[in-house]
């Protein structure tokens, strides 16, 4: 008998067929690249390393996103940290010395300012909250400082809401992607297929391939606006340190909850101290909204203004209490 081997439907979709689905015909992104690459800048920096007898000048590179026609450019804080000079190269071949307007360590973002000779093209922002795991994205950046325009890579959103540990603290609500993000990509845009920026490439894991991270547009936009207007980001604080309640912590401490944030340190005479909170308390919600972990806690906390009062629900000895905390400046 004749044996006919057929590929499974999902494989056939990739190989192509008369009824090829969208997954089998990936659209060309050439037009998208043409429209976005004019809004991506290359950044070069100089820093000084202090030697025992001599000082040495180091050079570094990153990427930037043009966010205003008069020369405001967003990049990563770690790109411009401790530098003595910043230069911005535009896609049209023009180069400018840049001033550092401000930075935010919490989100690893910074804003630069140049004085261009003419009006600059500006990126269009998208809503990162509308993106889903599996959506296609395109990363632009000054990868490896290669000349001739930005490097463009295609991938998907691999995960949303990631917490990424760095040497300066954790980054929260990050977009994870398998679009190649290499040294020099930091500060470049992560773009949806409609050409809108939904993230700012920030980090890659050196010990893993195909894993890169970007600050979501919903996180970045208010930070950028504050940096441009004030040169800094002012955030409210309860003046406490917290950690995730994990199943292991819950079992060890005999808690009757498996999620939340546990208070590990309280500033003396600070906002939480004055409200009666103690080390070991487990905060379960703010104003009735659950805080399942540190990421949820900080995202919700930073949605308030300094001076606001927040109703905090917490567990102490497995008994539920409430208190009102007046938020201080971080």
Instruction: State whether residue 170 is helix, strand or coil.
Output: strand
DSSP 14: H
Q: How far apart are CA 202 and CA 77, in angstroms?
A: 9
* pLDDT at residue 111 in the model: 98
Q: How far apart are CA 328 and CA 50, in angstroms?
A: 38
* pLDDT at residue 55 in the model: 56
The pair of structure tokens assigned to 122 is: 């500006």
Active site residues: 78, 108, 186
* pLDDT at residue 52 in the model: 56
The domains located in the chain, with CATH, are: 39-113 (2.40.10.10), 128-226 (2.40.10.10), 236-329 (2.30.42.10)
* pLDDT at residue 154 in the model: 94
pTM across the whole model: 0.77
* pLDDT at residue 208 in the model: 59
* pLDDT at residue 328 in the model: 94
pLDDT tens-digit series, residues 218-244: 999 999 999 999 999 988 999 999 999
pLDDT tens-digit series, residues 23-71: 556 678 999 999 999 999 999 998 877 665 555 667 788 999 999 999 9
* pLDDT at residue 206 in the model: 60
Ranges under pLDDT 50 in the chain: 1-22
With b for 16 or more beta-carbon neighbours within 10 A and e for fewer, the 46-78 pattern comes to: eeeeeeeeeeeeeebbbbbbbbbeebbbbbbbb
* pLDDT at residue 48 in the model: 73
CB atoms within 10 A of CB 117: 10
Q: Is the dihedral of CA 318, 288, 163, 231 positive or negative?
A: negative
Rounded-to-5 percentages of helix, strand, coil across the chain: 20, 40, 40
Strand residues in 142-297 grouped as ranges (E): 151-166, 169-177, 189-192, 197-204, 212-216, 236-237, 240-244, 261-266, 282-286, 289-290
């Amino acid at each position: 008998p004749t044996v006919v081997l057929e590929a499974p439907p999902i494989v056939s979709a990739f190989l192509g067929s008369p009824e090829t689905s969208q997954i089998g015909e990936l659209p060309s992104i050439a037009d998208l690249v043409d429209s976005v690459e004019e809004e991506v800048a290359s950044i070069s920096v100089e820093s000084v390393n202090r030697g025992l007898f001599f000082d040495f000048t180091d050079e570094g590179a990153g990427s930037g996103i043009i966010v205003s026609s008069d020369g405001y450019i967003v990049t990563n804080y770690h790109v411009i940290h401790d530098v003595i000079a910043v230069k911005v190269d535009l896609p049209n071949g023009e180069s400018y010395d840049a001033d550092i307007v401000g930075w935010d360590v919490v989100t690893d973002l910074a804003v630069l300012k140049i004085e261009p000779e003419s009006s600059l093209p500006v990126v269009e922002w998208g809503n990162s909250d509308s993106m889903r795991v599996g959506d296609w994205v395109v990363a632009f950046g000054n990868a490896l400082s290669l000349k001739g325009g930005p490097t463009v890579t295609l991938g998907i959103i691999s995960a949303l809401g990631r917490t990424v540990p760095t040497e300066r603290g954790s980054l929260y609500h990050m977009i994870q992607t398998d679009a190649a993000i290499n040294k020099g990509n930091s500060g470049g845009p992560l773009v949806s297929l409609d050409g809108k920026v939904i993230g700012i490439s920030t980090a890659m894991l050196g010990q893993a391939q195909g894993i890169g991270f970007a600050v979501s547009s919903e996180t970045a936009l208010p930070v950028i606006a504050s940096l441009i207007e004030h040169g800094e980001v002012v955030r409210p604080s309860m003046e406490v340190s917290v950690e995730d309640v994990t199943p292991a912590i819950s079992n060890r401490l005999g808690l009757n909850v498996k999620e939340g944030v546990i208070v590990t340190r309280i500033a003396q005479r600070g906002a939480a101290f004055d409200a009666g909170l103690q080390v070991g308390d487990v905060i379960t919600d703010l104003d009735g909204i659950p805080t399942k972990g540190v990421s949820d806690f900080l995202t919700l906390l930073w949605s308030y203004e300094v001076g606001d009062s927040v109703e905090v629900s917490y567990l102490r000895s497995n008994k539920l209490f409430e208190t009102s905390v007046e938020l201080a400046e971080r």
